[in-house]
């Protein structure tokens, strides 16, 4: 079994032996390394230069068209014309910071909040998911007067200092910060212990709360990505988060749902938390919110935001500027006009069925999970242990067949299947046939 994988190590170009690459590509890589240095991260054994996007496709510099099943940022489709023209029209009219009255911004906020349960009626806009989670942590500390946070073992919530501390998958080395407690993602522990996903997750959160309280740090909040994407994608059974939310509330803490990955329809419902029939205290948003235009947000109860603002208040120069609002508004239009949430359900179900058939055919597929158009497929070795090398080989072989997919999970052995929501049954057929060919050849 391979060891725990840092998130940025998954499907990473390692810069090692470049002798198999063309002279032109080697030159580009050297130029990039000389400017971006050690922080440069690229995908694939042979990095790709992309120049255009359209719907579910990405086109590289040689004109090769790839089926993109990797990318949940352009969630309504790459370069969607309605979103592009909304951004262009607003940029041509006015783009300023956020301290003037602005009708596009206010109208967008009201429209977006209409998609949330009653009580979650305040929106603060940011530029990234990391900023949104950073603010969520600050709100939770202000509301509870405590500083302890609970996250899942392979969580990723972003890149600010505070958020990196609650993102164990960011670092392969540093120990968990003293104010952070880790719990296993719902299914891993539950499968090992015989199946009570909801009960076992709630119990482990309860133990972590007790530990934080005993340490004197105190419990502020549990923050979970409601599809558990970096943990390996755990969606079922729907409803399993409810007992945990009750335990969090009984302990006086807040439940933060990170919707940066599952939000805006991907799992077949508008929000990942809706599948669990819960109302979180704070919801954080990002990636698909602007279909590629950088925007994020925090949705919470007015009393929580007021409590936070009594001490500091919040201002973000670019968060919620009018161009961002135009992008966000256009995304909501497309989700409705093209029925994309229903498509995530129906085409997602079809794709999952196809993956289950492959599982029956290929014993190295250890499991298929997910919801809507966010699916995970585990690879295991002959002994049934996670097989990261196989996942990596399949990802690179699929790339040769012009299909892009990613990896996830503690051991990096889970194929992360997450196409734009305009993905059709024909695209699903193309993917399943290519995956079958790759597995036959493995």
Identify which of residues 170 and 365 has a Cβ nearer to ligand PLP in the complex: 170
Encode 179-190: b = buried (16+ Cβ within 10 Å), e = exposed.
bbbbbbbbbbbb
Least distance from ligand PLP to the Cβ atom of residue 425, Å: 27
Least distance from ligand PLP to the Cβ atom of residue 316, Å: 13
Identify which of residues 331 and 435 has a Cβ nearer to ligand PLP in the complex: 331
Identify which of residues 8 and 397 has a Cβ nearer to ligand PLP in the complex: 8
DSSP string, 96-144: --SSS--HHHHHHHHHHHTTS-TT--EEEEESSHHHHHHHHHHHHHHHH
Identify which of residues 75 and 133 has a Cβ nearer to ligand PLP in the complex: 133
Identify which of residues 184 and 387 has a Cβ nearer to ligand PLP in the complex: 184
DSSP string, 29-50: HHHHHHHHGGG---BSSS---E
Tokens found for residue 186: 């719902």
Least distance from ligand PLP to the Cβ atom of residue 225, Å: 4
Tokens found for residue 223: 């923050």
Q: Which residues bind ligand PLP (CB under 6 A)?
A: 128-130, 133, 156-159, 225, 229, 258, 260-261, 286-287
> Cis omega before residue 107 (within 30°)?
no
**Residue nearest ligand PLP by beta-carbon distance:** 129
242-247 contacts at long range (C-beta below 8 A, 24 or more positions apart) = 242/198, 242/276, 242/277, 242/278, 243/198, 243/199, 243/201, 243/202, 244/198, 244/201, 244/202, 244/205, 245/276, 245/278, 245/280, 246/202, 247/202, 247/205, 247/206, 247/209
Q: Which residue has the tokens 């809507």?
A: 372
Identify which of residues 83 and 127 has a Cβ nearer to ligand PLP in the complex: 127
Least distance from ligand PLP to the Cβ atom of residue 193, Å: 26
Beta pairing class for 374-379 and 365-371: antiparallel
Identify which of residues 258 and 387 has a Cβ nearer to ligand PLP in the complex: 258
Q: Please, which residues have CB within 8 angstroms of residue 378's CB and are 6 or more apart in sequence?
A: 232, 365, 366, 367, 368, 369, 386, 409, 413, 414, 415
Least distance from ligand PLP to the Cβ atom of residue 282, Å: 13
Least distance from ligand PLP to the Cβ atom of residue 158, Å: 4
Tokens found for residue 37: 């240095």
Encode 211-233: b = buried (16+ Cβ within 10 Å), e = exposed.
ebbeeebbbbbbbbbbbbbbbbb
3-state SS assignment for residue 378: strand
């Amino acid at each position: 079994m391979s060891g725990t994988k840092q998130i940025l190590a998954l499907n990473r170009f390692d810069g090692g032996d470049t002798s198999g690459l063309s002279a032109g590509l080697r030159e580009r890589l050297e130029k990039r390394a000389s400017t971006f240095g050690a922080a440069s991260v690229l995908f694939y054994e042979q990095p790709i230069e992309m120049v255009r996007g359209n719907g579910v496709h990405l086109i590289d510099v040689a004109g090769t068209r790839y089926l993109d099943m990797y990318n949940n940022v352009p969630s309504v489709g790459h370069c969607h014309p309605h979103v592009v023209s909304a951004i262009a029209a607003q940029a041509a009219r006015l783009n300023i910071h956020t301290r003037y009255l602005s009708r596009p911004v206010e109208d967008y906020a009201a429209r977006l909040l209409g998609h949330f349960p009653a009580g979650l009626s305040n929106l603060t806009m940011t530029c990234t998911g990391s900023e949104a989670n950073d603010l969520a942590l600050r709100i939770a500390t202000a509301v509870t007067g405590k500083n302890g946070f609970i996250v899942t073992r392979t969580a990723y919530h972003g890149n600010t200092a505070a958020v990196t501390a609650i993102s164990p998958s960011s670092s392969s080395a540093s120990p968990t910060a003293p104010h952070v407690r880790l719990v296993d993602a719902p299914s891993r522990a539950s499968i090992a212990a015989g199946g009570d996903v909801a009960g076992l997750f709630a119990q482990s959160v309860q133990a972590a709360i007790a530990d934080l309280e005993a340490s004197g740090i105190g419990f502020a909040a549990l923050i979970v990505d409601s599809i558990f994407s970096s943990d390996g994608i755990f969606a079922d059974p729907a409803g399993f988060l409810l007992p945990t939310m009750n335990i969090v509330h009984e302990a006086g803490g807040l439940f933060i749902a990170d919707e940066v990955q599952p939000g805006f329809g991907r799992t077949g419902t508008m929000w990942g938390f809706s599948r669990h029939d819960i109302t979180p205290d704070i919801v954080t948003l990002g990636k698909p919110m602007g279909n590629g235009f950088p925007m994020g947000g925090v949705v919470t109860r007015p009393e929580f935001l007021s409590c936070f603002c009594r001490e500091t208040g919040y201002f973000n120069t670019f968060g919620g500027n009018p161009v961002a609002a135009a992008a966000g508004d256009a995304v909501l239009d497309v989700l409705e006009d093209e029925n994309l949430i229903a498509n995530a359900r129906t085409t997602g179900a079809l794709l999952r069925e196809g993956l289950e058939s492959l599982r029956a055919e290929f014993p190295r597929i250890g499991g298929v999970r997910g919801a809507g158009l966010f699916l995970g497929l585990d690879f295991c070795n002959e002994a049934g242990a996670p097989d990261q090398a196989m996942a990596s080989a399949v990802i690179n072989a699929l790339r040769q067949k012009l299909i892009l997919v990613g990896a996830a999970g503690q051991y990096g052995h889970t194929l992360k299947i997450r196409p734009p929501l305009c993905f059709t049954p024909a695209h699903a057929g193309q993917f399943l046939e290519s995956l079958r060919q790759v597995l036959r050849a493995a």
